[in-house]
A and B are shown apart, each in its own frame.
Chain A
Amino acid sequence: MDEFSSPTEGVVFHAGFPNAAEDARASSLSLDNLIVRHRASTFFWRLPEGGIPEMGWKGGDIAVVDRAVQAGTNDWVVAVIDEVFVIRQYRKQGNRIFLLTPAGQREAAQDGVLLWGVITFVVQQLRSV
């Protein structure tokens, strides 16, 4: 492995809280600020095993779900169908609203479908660090 001289040499790191040191430098960027717009209503979910290959999302990727956001057409959403949390795509055509499965099929279930939240980001880890 190549050796780099770290720009943070001499800094004491405390494992588990890498953010805190970042925050102290007012100008540096925090991914948390970008991704979590509403702290109260943002929840993290795992994508299902096998992922959503249609979108290039892998199993175990993290979906950032904001429950305070109003769904718009083509948004990916978390819905509750038959007592199960599923990932769907939201479509609105005129006054008609329907959900598409990841394969693009019109969702069959009509009754008792609940829109739980809107997926605002998908976080994908490419390799272990």
Chain B
Amino acid sequence: MARVFALIDCNNFFASCERVFRPDLWHKPVAVLSNNDGCIIARSNEVKALGVPMGVPLFKVEGLLKQHGAALFSANFTLYGDISQRITDVMSSMAPAIEVYSVDESFIDLTDLASSNYAAWAEEVRTRIWHETGIPVSIGIGPSKTLAKAAAEYAKRQGTTGTHLVLEPSDRLQLLEWLPLEDVWGIGRRFAAKLHAFGLRSAADVAALPDGWILKEMTIKGLTTVRELRGDTILLLEQDETERKTISRSRSFGHTIRNIHQLESAVATFTAQAMVKMRAQDSVTSGIVTYLKTKKVNDTNRNLATVTSFGEPSVDTGTAIQAAIEGLARIYDADFGYQKAGIILVGIQSKEAWQLSLLMPDSKRGKRTDLMSAVDLLNRRFGPETIWHASQNLRAARWHSKHELRSPAYTTSWHDLPTLHR
């Protein structure tokens, strides 16, 4: 049976989150800044229309944004994590199988959906997420994950309905001709530049090439991407069903990253993915390790790692992202370039065991044990060269970087609840 995949992509996710409790901003430009308030990391459509690029330092565009009455926010990962979790909950109730790909994107395998009216399904998902959480999403549907992702991009930029289906061959060809190589999932900007040198511009250009050439110039990974573009299903949902005591996520960047905001975004994504997996195995987790690997200086890579405790075991994505980002702020050193970042959830135990432990008098369990096992883990993984930063409690160590423009924790703090008017 032919497979069908959907990609659900939240539009301008962080900026959209900032709008949920701010109707005065529903039609105004909104931009979100990285945690040190340095760079733009999310833009509403109005800000994009002003020509403000992603990742630009604020000082370069501050005048323009002020002139157009834009609202600026410091990143509020607690809020984004909570809303991300709500969206995952809505999707899970409507999808046979789901892979949370990032904090604002999920793949869904629709093959086992009872109805084959995918357009109607997508419309219901979009409407429900919008009505129930206040976040607009775009949906792409196709026979492969790569095509679903491309279709979602098309829906976001070109479409009028917010959904784009590429189940017919003619739809697929039209999409591939529109799709620039640098926007193909799995190719990326740097590799696209190499392909441009061969005169290749669109996804359709590479899809038409013989497999032998692709294998030679683009490796087996490239051939996978191209076959997916042609409509073959190669990649399946990445779901790990086995129960884990630690859950980790990391990525080697392939090039050096210096900007903390890029690292923040990577770390937030890893954390969101890991927390979904953690909840799926009915566990709670007590803390998170954030680690970075520098590029080589004097012929050695430096490993930087820290563990941040949640204070109490938690299942909450927002708490975990906040902790991961605070850990990152402690180990990040602007003097280095980084080639890898990752997170490890630590102190994982089954929800049931944790609840029972709360009923046991004189239980020896607790934060200290969790953190000690995290220290052991770090030493095993990184060896004695690990630069160890004292672990800190999330509540005790409010992090000191600038976040003057941060919105309230509307959904995660009793002190920050929004107020109704008469």
Which residues of A line the B interface, CB within 8 A?
A: 10-14, 16-17, 20-21, 23-24, 38-41, 43-48, 50, 52, 62-63, 67-68, 78, 80, 83-87, 101-102, 114
Question: B86 — which chain A residues lie within 8 A by C-beta?
Answer: 39-41
Stretch of B1-9, B178-186, B222-230, B350-358 on the interface side: B350-358
Nearest CB of chain B from residue A117's CB, rounded to whole Å: 9
Q: Which 4 A-B pairs have the closest CB atoms?
A: A41-B132, A24-B355, A40-B89, A40-B86
Question: A84 — which chain B residues lie within 8 A by C-beta?
Answer: 23, 421
Question: A63 — which chain B residues lie within 8 A by C-beta?
Answer: 420
In the complex with contacts A17-B358, A20-B354, A87-B420 CB distance below 8 A: yes
Cβ B420 vs Cβ A78 within 8 A: yes
Complex Cα gap A50–B419 (Å): 12
Nearest CB of chain B from residue A121's CB, rounded to whole Å: 14
Question: B311 — which chain A residues lie within 8 A by C-beta?
Answer: 16
B420 in complex: contacting residue of A10, A12, A13, A45, CB < 8 Å: A45
Cβ B132 vs Cβ A85 within 8 A: no
Cβ B132 vs Cβ A21 within 8 A: no
In the complex with contacts A48-B420, A86-B422, A10-B361 CB distance below 8 A: yes
For residue B363, CB closer than 8 A to chain A, the reply is: yes
Closest to A44 in B: B417
Nearest CB of chain A from residue B131's CB, rounded to whole Å: 6
Cβ A50 vs Cβ B422 within 8 A: yes
In the complex with contacts A38-B132, A40-B133, A41-B132, A14-B420 CB distance below 8 A: no
Q: What sequence of 0s and 1s flags, for each residue 233-260 of chain B, a beta carbon within 8 Å of any chain A beta carbon?
A: 0000000000000000000000000000
In the complex with contacts A21-B359, A24-B356, A45-B133 CB distance below 8 A: no
Which residues of B line the A interface, CB within 8 A?
A: 21, 23-24, 26, 86-87, 89-90, 93, 128, 131-134, 311-313, 352, 354-356, 358-363, 410-411, 414, 417-422
- Jot down 13 A-B pairs with beta carbons below 8 A, ordered by A: A11-B359, A12-B358, A12-B361, A12-B362, A20-B358, A24-B352, A24-B355, A41-B133, A47-B419, A48-B421, A52-B422, A85-B418, A85-B419
- Given contact pairs A44-B417, A85-B418, a sample of 13 additional A-B residue pairs in the complex whose CB atoms are under 8 Å apart: A11-B358, A20-B354, A20-B355, A24-B358, A41-B132, A43-B411, A44-B414, A46-B417, A46-B418, A67-B134, A68-B128, A78-B420, A85-B419
Cβ B23 vs Cβ A80 within 8 A: yes
Question: A78 — which chain B residues lie within 8 A by C-beta?
Answer: 420
Cβ A62 vs Cβ B417 within 8 A: yes
Nearest CB of chain B from residue A108's CB, rounded to whole Å: 14
Nearest CB of chain A from residue B8's CB, rounded to whole Å: 14
